Amino acid sequence: MATTSSHFSATSHWYSNESSVSRLIDFGSKWRKQQLFSKNSRRLVKRRLVSVSIKNVSSEPKQKLKDDLLIQEEEEVPRILNPSTPNTSSIASSIKYHAEFTPLFSLERFELPKAYFATAQSVRDALIINWNSTYECYERLNAKQAYYLSMEFLQGRALLNAIGNLELNGAYAEALSKLGHSLENVACQEPDAALGNGGLGRLASCFLDSLATLNYPAWGYGLRYKYGLFKQKITKDGQEEVAEDWLEMGNPWEILRNDVSYPVKFFGKVVSGSDGKRHWIGGEDIKAVAYDVPIPGYKTKTTINLRLWSTKAPSEDLDLYAFNVGDHTKAYEALLNAEKICYVLYPGDDSLEGKILRLKQQYTLCSASLQDIISCFERRSGSDIKWEKFPEKVAVQMNDTHPTLCIPELMRVLIDLKGLSWKEAWNITQRTVAYTNHTVLPEALEKWSVELMQKLLPRHVEIIELIDEELIRTIVSEYGNEDSDLLEKKLKEMRILENVDLPSAFAELIVKPKLETKTVYNSEEETKDSL
């Protein structure tokens, strides 16, 4: 069967750029004019002043900016913990506020689950202040930003990590002690975020932590798995695997962004329009909705973002007629097909349906994330959008083979939607996208059936075929065609498309010499001839 491999020929490093330099961003904040109202337990922040300075860390002579950026805001923030002057009393007051006014549990008791959520929301308040300032800085400076795409993020528990990064361990421990709980017991109420499974996900989370700590402009992108991989349950019959319930009580760290959603298409067909462009039409359309999670750096106010995509179908996809006549399964089918994309990390792919679901997951991550990245680039560029500057502002890092559909997807958007030529789009893509490989074992490198890809992502197969031609051209240029055996070996090892004939333009490159025909006689004929 013909297959398509994930080895796309597009490599670059997000930190190497011809016309820009890597920068560190330091955030300093000063809070003033604060008034605490004891009657309604609200803190009114009259004004916030944030100064942002940039340090050049390239090998070139250091340059000093003319002026620091000043961000001034008028806002009223209920019971937000002031990160500049934390103390036991203000922390305890913040926890009590969230227990009362951000309720997820009944009012009667302040038991451990409720104490955990109130404490996490109190910490999140402090993170949001830094989080928003970091985002505002990125918007104003329009610095080159890295976007890290991964199917896994093995974060672990966030509460103690966030408190430690804010250097508030002692203050929170004392505040919770006054409220009748220990920090250790409260922290144990937090379930592990079921967004990753092993080393791949742990590395991704470590990267985000390090990027925030080192003050690099960066974001992470992943999927918001409702049930994760699985939860181990030990019974008298041995080990059982059950669905992970990490979201059943809610997640105090995530923020739903109802205003950030993008369409994602599957199936359909590709037609040529009157404008000469290829158009991907029909098929199945879903929506990817953003959930944001703050990632704080250690001993820095830089707090970057992990954006997770959840999937759903538009409300009009509910077949109301079928529902009213009692065919509830059929009525809900489109909604279920959209939602199940983000149910489980690594769904079984022994069946065709499993393969389709896993490929849907990977394309959802790539499509929604790239749409978001491009939207950000266009917003920051204002009215002066120059696509040749895209690699100077954007670096997309793919964690292992799962997000490699980013390459044909970026090509599709640039060519079909933004009107760039193939040459322009390919140059931009090669300078924008980079790839982290975790193993060289063949069984760990994904391959997809061409037939399956053509069914689910028909336009991308066309683009992959053209990228394959680009790679063949490069291989021929590198190795020549004098030694046909060597060239055939290299093409077999390095092509994207496997078990697929060479394009017609290269069909004559490998011509096997004709074997001499020999007449073979059987023993009876030889005996007769000899007589």
**Structure tokens, 503:** 């394009």
The arithmetic mean of pLDDT across residues 53-78, rounded, is 35
Q: Helix (H, G, I), strand (E, B), or coil: what is residue 112?
A: helix
The arithmetic mean of pLDDT across residues 358-362, rounded, is 97
Confidence of residue 106 (pLDDT cuts 50, 70, 90): confident
Among 46-60, 181-195, 234-248, the least confident range: 46-60
Confidence of residue 159 (pLDDT cuts 50, 70, 90): very high
Residue 510, CA atoms < 13 Å, CB-side half-sphere: 16
**Structure tokens, 516:** 């001499």
The arithmetic mean of pLDDT across residues 338-359, rounded, is 94
Q: What is the pLDDT of residue 6?
A: 47
Q: What is the pLDDT of residue 91?
A: 94
Share of residues in the chain with pLDDT > 90 (%):
61
Q: Distance between CA 326 and CA 4 in Å, rounded?
A: 43
Q: Helix (H, G, I), strand (E, B), or coil: what is residue 89?
A: helix
Task: Classify burial at 240, counting beta carbons within 10 Å of its beta carbon; exposed 0-12, middle 13-18, buried 19 or more.
Answer: exposed
Helix, strand, coil shares of the chain, percent, nearest 5, are 40, 20, 35
Q: What is the pLDDT of residue 306?
A: 98
Share of residues in the chain with pLDDT > 70 (%):
80
- The DSSP 8-state label assigned to residue 415 in this structure reads I
The arithmetic mean of pLDDT across residues 353-367, rounded, is 97
The arithmetic mean of pLDDT across residues 433-439, rounded, is 89
Contact by Cβ (8 Å): 150, 402? yes
Maximum C-alpha span of the chain? 125
Residue with the bigger pLDDT between 482 and 45: it is 482
Q: What is the pLDDT of residue 518?
A: 52
Among 271-280, 433-442, 459-468, the least confident range: 433-442
Q: Helix (H, G, I), strand (E, B), or coil: what is residue 462?
A: helix
Contacts of 498 (CB under 8 A, 6+ apart): 2, 3, 4, 5, 447, 492
The pLDDT mean for the chain works out to: 83
Contact by Cβ (8 Å): 373, 124? no
Looking at the predicted structure, is the pLDDT value of residue 45 above 80? no
Q: What is the pLDDT of residue 237?
A: 85
Q: What is the pLDDT of residue 523?
A: 52
Residue with the bigger pLDDT between 43 and 241: it is 241
